[in-house]
Structure 1
Amino acid sequence: MSDPTFRQVRLGEALKRLRERAGLSQREAAYRLRYNYQKLSRIENGQLPEYHGMRAMLDLYGVLVSEEAPYIDMWERASERGWWHPYGLDDQGYISLEHDAIRVCAFQLGYIPGLLQTESYMRAVFLGWQTQHSRKWIENQIAIRTRRQERLVGTGSLEYHAVIVEAAFRHADRSQLLHINEMARLPNVKVQALLDTAGLHDGQNGSFTLLDFAYPGEMSVLYVEHPAGATHVEDVERVKASKLVFKHLSKLALTPDESVEWIGRLAAER
Structure 2
Amino acid sequence: MVRTSPTFRRRRLARRIRYLRERAGLTQEHAACELDMSTSALSRKENGDVITSVHEARSMVDLYDIRDPELLDLARAARERGWWRAYGVADRGYVDLETEACAVQELSLMYIPGLLQTEEYMRAIFVADSGMRPERNVENDVSVRTIRQRRLADPEQPLELTALVDQAALERPIGGPQVMRDQLRHLLEVVQLDRVELRILPKATGCHLGMAGAFVVLEFPEPEDNDVLFVSHPVGSVHVEKAGEVQQARVVFERLFAQALPAEQSMRLIERAAAELQ
TM-score (norm 1): 0.82
**Percent sequence identity over aligned pairs:** 41
Out of 206, 214, 217, the residue aligned to residue 210 of structure 1 is: 217
Distance 2:42 2:61 in 1: 13
Deviations for 1:168-222, whole angstroms, at most 9, x for unmatched residues? 0113522111211222111111111111112211100011111122334231111
Aligned residue in 2 for 1:161: 162
Whether 2:206 is the aligned partner of 1:199: answer yes
Q: 1:11 aligns with which of 10, 13, 29?
A: 13
Structure 2 residue identity aligned to 1:114: G
Give me the whole-angstrom Cα distance separating, in 1, the residues matched to 2:60 and 2:271: 55
- 1:186 and 2:185 correspond: no
Is the alpha carbon distance of 1:14 and 1:207 closer, same or farther for their aligned partners in structure 2, counting shifts above 3 Å?
farther
Q: Answer yes or no: is the 8 Å Cα contact 1:5–1:92 preserved in 2.
A: no
Q: Is the 8 A contact 1:30 1:37 kept in 2?
A: yes
Whole-angstrom CA distance in 1 between matches of 2:11 and 2:127: 36
Q: Mind listing any 5+ residue stretches in structure 1 that lack a counterpart? A: none
Q: Hey, what's the Cα distance between the residues in 2 that align with 1:73 and 1:197?
A: 53
> Which whole-Å deviations, capped at 9, do the CAs of 1:6-33 have from their partners, x for residues lacking one?
54234313432454466542234446x6
Give 1:18-167 correspondences, 5 Å limit.
19-20=21-22, 23-30=25-32, 34-38=35-39, 39-46=41-48, 47-51=50-54, 54=57, 57=60, 75=75, 77-89=77-89, 93-129=93-129, 131-155=131-155, 156-167=157-168
SS in 2 for 1:231: strand
Query: Does the 8 Å CA contact 2:35/2:59 hold for their aligned counterparts?
Result: no
Distance in 1 (alpha carbons) for counterparts of 2:36 and 2:24:
17
1:259 to 266, 273, 278: 266
Deviation at 1:49? 2.6
Unaligned runs of 5+ in 2: 1-5, 174-179
Residues 246 and 56 (structure 1), Cα distance of their counterparts in 2 relative to 1, 3 Å cut:
farther
Aligned residues: 263
Taking a change above 3 Å as real, the CA distance of residues 117 and 242 of structure 1, as seen in their structure-2 partners, is same
How far apart, in 1, do the equivalents of 2:139 and 2:15 lie? 37
Instruction: Give distance in 2, aligned partners of 1:8 and 1:41.
Output: 14
Q: Is the 8 A contact 2:166 2:200 kept in 1?
A: yes
CA RMSD, Structure 1 to Structure 2 (Å): 3.0
Secondary structure in structure 2 of the residue aligned to 1:79: coil
In the alignment, which residue of structure 1 is the partner of 2:181?
A: 174
> Which residue does 1:228 correspond to in 2?
235
Q: Kindly indicate whether the alpha-carbon contact (under 8 Å) linking 1:74 and 1:215 is maintained by their aligned counterparts in 2.
A: no
Q: Relative to structure 1, is the Cα distance of residues 90 and 138 closer, same or farther in structure 2, using a 3 angstrom cutoff?
A: closer
CA distance in structure 2 between the aligned counterparts of 1:142 and 1:162, rounded to whole angstroms: 20
Counterpart of 2:241 in structure 1: which amino acid? E
Aligned partners of 1:107 and 1:162 also within 8 Å? yes
CA contact (8 A) 2:35 2:60 kept: no
* Residues 54/130 of structure 1: CA separation in 2 closer, same or farther (3 Å cut): closer
Determine if contact 2:89/2:140 at 8 Å carries over to the other structure: no
Distance 1:91 1:164, change over 3 A: closer
Per the alignment, do residues 150 and 168 of structure 1 end up closer, same or farther by CA in structure 2, a change over 3 Å counting?
A: same
